[in-house]
Amino acid sequence: TRDPLVVFTPSGKRGHFPAGTPVLQAARQLGVDLDSVCGGRGICSKCQITPSFGEFSKHGLTSQPDALSAWNAVEARYDEKRGLKPGRRLGCQAKIEGDVVIDVPAESQVHRQVVRKAASTRAIAMDPATRLHFVEVAEPDMHVPTGDFERLAAALEREWGITGLRADLPVLAGLQKVLRRGKWQVTAAVHRDHTGGPPRLLALFPGLHEAGLYGLAIDLGSTTIAAHLTDLDTGAVVASAGVMNPQIRFGEDLMSRVSYAMMNPGGDAEMTRAVREAIDTLIVEIAAEAGIDPALILEAVFVCNPVMHHLLLGIDPVELGQAPFALASSDAMNLTARELDLAALPAAARVYVLPCIAGHVGADAAAVALSEAPGRSEDLVLVVDVGTNAEILLGDRSRVLACSSPTGPAFEGAQISSGQRAAPGAIEAIRIDPETKEPRFRVIGSDLWSDEPGFAEAVGAGGITGICGSGIIEAVAELRLAGLMDESGLMGSAEQTGSPRMIADGRTHEYLVWDGSATGGPRITVTQGDIRAIQLAKSALYAGARLLMDERGVDKVDRVVLAGAFGAHISPKHAMVLGMIPDVPLDKVTSAGNAAGTGARIALCNIAARAEIERTVREITKVETAIEPRFQEHFVAANAIPHKTDPFPELQA
């Protein structure tokens, strides 16, 4: 008689095993992805499986309900204490007795997929660098003079195949107490290094550690710092928070911060201190919000532009302010929290900083490349991450090019007369009737348009406060569509346009969107200066994209992805009317949400993604906008709305 046949779903892996083989063991031998933290002791419940009898019967598999061994004492005890879902078994306890189909539910898979919320092309496969391993450590013995750490390392090698374990001093310092408190049963958080370095013990917990491990994906921008606290087991984001980058007081944009470092001895260190302190505060806040002990945050991944990258690492950024824009190092960084003085994290927590692409194209662009994977695209895709600097990637399977373009903060509502950050009360969408020239708009925090009943109540007591980035883009595009502004961006007078909303403002005109002054609210207008600021920003963006297209030898792209916390809210139609992006069919413009933040999350949750992006950045062709004369030509031609010379046939359609 043959040994029982076992088929695992969803992998479809199968094999024959002698009766009495534990399911976990069969899964390991077949390379089936079945989790375990306790090493088969029946206490972690990570190995849960569901026998699904008969599903494969048409292929000749004759499963019987008794194809698995009956409940044993360990399983019964677990069920009594914690409760197993109906139909579930512990894979380390249930033994194979006959032919059986075994389903591994998603939560029992080590490399489970986390579905991304944004319009995503890729799910995140969980395989974090740091994992938990439960072990029993041999007690010390006078006659065998080994250290506690060495016996722990031996146990991890014996039970989990982890060789060459190292520990930093802060972990060693607490090790002996934990071993004794756990009565020599402990859970080790071990970090694997994807570059071939030794595995590291990051933390040790007494007994079976069930409170999980967490990591931070941090998008360190010039204006804001955003952090996502992520469960390293499930990949779920348990809390997100953001703060202003305090370096703003040293300079609004990157170049003024570089000048600050140039002009003030010790200025770079001052900015480094400020940003690290802000990150620390943010970590404390986000952990408190999620109700999580910061001691459980053992990893952090950073994405940032080159200047922020240097200032985070404590490297003087002056070289980035002048050609040839040399980075101190473009490589990815593997560090500890202590090296970055991040006191909110355990000293041994690991910090990974994504690699930079070039002196002007940073780790944030690398993160976008990881998230949107233009190098895997069949068709030619233009990815634009809109921010104070636009990160632009163009490519397909054959080749990817990247540049960064200094758009300035206008797209984020800064330097706009009625501009503000995207927050409740900000106008985020606007339409201007081409006949009456009257506006209607929507503000953040309400779904209603301003001409719909109930709008005032929906906006609430805070009222209408200003216009955010997506609002100003729509406003300028709508002014053009309504004929209130010519191709050069010049607004007409009330007489010329027949609209009393065009109000003289010195020698130019402004368009009155909303006058709340009667009730103590703001008067919201779009001024000629606002339009000029948006023209400069959009020309820089378009010129960067055109430069990459020239380099690639094409005059059109197949599709456009708008990324960035704010890029996600831009209306594709208005972006095209404005001439921010090259002409493509409107249904070929998609939004990717905060792609840089997503890239950081991918690198946090999947160790292979780190190796992947380090490889990818080496293959990306870098294009430097600052020294390229054609950039200036494209910039000037792109000043017109939508463009002086480039055709926009899709707009006509």
Which pair of structure tokens corresponds to residue 632?
A: 């200036």
Distance (Å, whole) CA 392 – CA 622: 10
Should residue 577 be labelled a site residue for ligand FES when binding is judged by CB under 6 A? no
Segment near ligand FES (CB under 6 A); pick from 31-39, 327-335, 404-412, 433-441: 31-39
Nearest approach in angstroms of CB 12 to ligand FES is 23
- Asked if residue 189 lies in contact with residue 167, where contact means CB atoms within 8 angstroms, the answer is no
Residue closer to ligand FES by CB (options 91, 355) is: 91
Cis link prior to 649 (omega < 30° from 0)?
A: no
- Asked if residue 649 lies in contact with residue 586, where contact means CB atoms within 8 angstroms, the answer is no
Should residue 43 be labelled a site residue for ligand FES when binding is judged by CB under 6 A? yes
Residue closer to ligand FES by CB (options 92, 401) is: 92
Should residue 531 be labelled a site residue for ligand FES when binding is judged by CB under 6 A? no
Which pair of structure tokens corresponds to residue 603?
A: 């690198």
CA nearest neighbour of 7 among 45, 65, 63: 63
Size of the chain, expressed as the number of residues it contains: 653
**Number of residues in contact with ligand FES, rule: CB under 6 A?**
15
Which of 32, 67, 68, 92 is close enough to bind ligand FES by CB under 6 A? 92
Nearest approach in angstroms of CB 186 to ligand FES is 15
Which of 4, 40, 182, 251 is close enough to bind ligand FES by CB under 6 A? 40
351-370 footprint of ligand FES as x/- string (CB under 6 A): --------------------
Segment near ligand FES (CB under 6 A); pick from 84-92, 440-448, 571-579, 640-648: 84-92
DSSP 637: H
Distance (Å, whole) CA 635 – CA 162: 56
Distance of alpha carbon 279 from the chain centroid: 16
Tokens 């999580």 -> residue: 292
Which of 21, 45, 63, 377 is close enough to bind ligand FES by CB under 6 A? 45
Residue closer to ligand FES by CB (options 25, 508) is: 25
Nearest approach in angstroms of CB 133 to ligand FES is 11
Nearest approach in angstroms of CB 42 to ligand FES is 5
* Window 335 to 354, contacts with ligand FES (CB under 6 A): none
Nearest approach in angstroms of CB 91 to ligand FES is 6
Which of 26, 68, 90, 570 is close enough to bind ligand FES by CB under 6 A? 90
- Asked if residue 641 lies in contact with residue 489, where contact means CB atoms within 8 angstroms, the answer is yes
Nearest approach in angstroms of CB 292 to ligand FES is 23
Tokens 């540049």 -> residue: 403
| Radius of gyration for the chain, computed over Cα atoms and rounded to the nearest angstrom | 29
* E strand or H helix that includes residue 384: strand 381-385
Q: Which long-range contacts (CB under 8 A, 24 or more apart) does 146-151 make?
A: 148/175, 148/176, 148/179, 149/175, 149/201
- Asked if residue 503 lies in contact with residue 417, where contact means CB atoms within 8 angstroms, the answer is no
Q: What are phi and psi of 137, to 5 degrees?
A: -105, 140
Strand order in the sheet with 200-206: 130-136, 185-191, 200-206, 166-167
List 402's β-bridge partners, or say none: 393, 622
Largest CA distance in the chain: 101
Nearest approach in angstroms of CB 144 to ligand FES is 29
Q: Using CB positions, name the residue nearest to ligand FES.
A: 92
Residue closer to ligand FES by CB (options 77, 249) is: 77
Should residue 209 be labelled a site residue for ligand FES when binding is judged by CB under 6 A? no
Nearest approach in angstroms of CB 93 to ligand FES is 7
Which of 47, 102, 300, 345 is close enough to bind ligand FES by CB under 6 A? 47
Encode 60-127 in three state secondary structure.
Answer: CCCCCHHHECCCCHHHHHHHHHCCCCCCCEECCCCEECCCEEEECCHHHCCCCEECCCCCCCCCEECE
Residue closer to ligand FES by CB (options 91, 597) is: 91
Residue closer to ligand FES by CB (options 92, 603) is: 92
Q: Which long-range contacts (CB under 8 A, 24 or more apart) does 318-321 make?
A: 318/258, 318/261, 318/262, 318/268, 319/359, 320/258, 320/359, 320/360, 321/255, 321/258, 321/259, 321/262
Nearest approach in angstroms of CB 94 to ligand FES is 9
Segment near ligand FES (CB under 6 A); pick from 89-97, 147-155, 378-386, 590-598: 89-97
Residue closer to ligand FES by CB (options 96, 565) is: 96
* E strand or H helix that includes residue 267: helix 267-290
List 593's β-bridge partners, or say none: 563
Nearest approach in angstroms of CB 40 to ligand FES is 5
Should residue 104 be labelled a site residue for ligand FES when binding is judged by CB under 6 A? no
Segment near ligand FES (CB under 6 A); pick from 44-52, 58-66, 213-221, 449-457: 44-52
**Which amino acid appears at position 454 of this protein?**
G
Segment near ligand FES (CB under 6 A); pick from 3-11, 35-43, 425-433, 632-640: 35-43
Q: What are phi and psi of 143, to 5 degrees?
A: -90, -10
Which of 27, 44, 383, 468 is close enough to bind ligand FES by CB under 6 A? 44
Residue closer to ligand FES by CB (options 47, 560) is: 47
Segment near ligand FES (CB under 6 A); pick from 85-93, 234-242, 274-282, 637-645: 85-93
Nearest approach in angstroms of CB 22 to ligand FES is 9
Segment near ligand FES (CB under 6 A); pick from 41-49, 135-143, 155-163, 482-490: 41-49
Which of 5, 27, 32, 38 is close enough to bind ligand FES by CB under 6 A? 38
Segment near ligand FES (CB under 6 A); pick from 42-50, 94-102, 463-471, 588-596: 42-50
144-183 footprint of ligand FES as x/- string (CB under 6 A): ----------------------------------------
C-alpha dist (Å) from residue 454 to 378, 465, 616 = 47, 18, 51
Should residue 68 be labelled a site residue for ligand FES when binding is judged by CB under 6 A? no
**Which amino acid appears at position 542 of this protein?**
Y
Residue closer to ligand FES by CB (options 36, 405) is: 36
Q: Is the dihedral of CA 330, 611, 304, 469 positive or negative?
A: positive
Should residue 36 be labelled a site residue for ligand FES when binding is judged by CB under 6 A? yes
Should residue 46 be labelled a site residue for ligand FES when binding is judged by CB under 6 A? yes
**Using CB under 6 A as the criterion, which residues of the chain lie in contact with ligand FES when the complex forms?**
24, 36-38, 40-47, 90-92
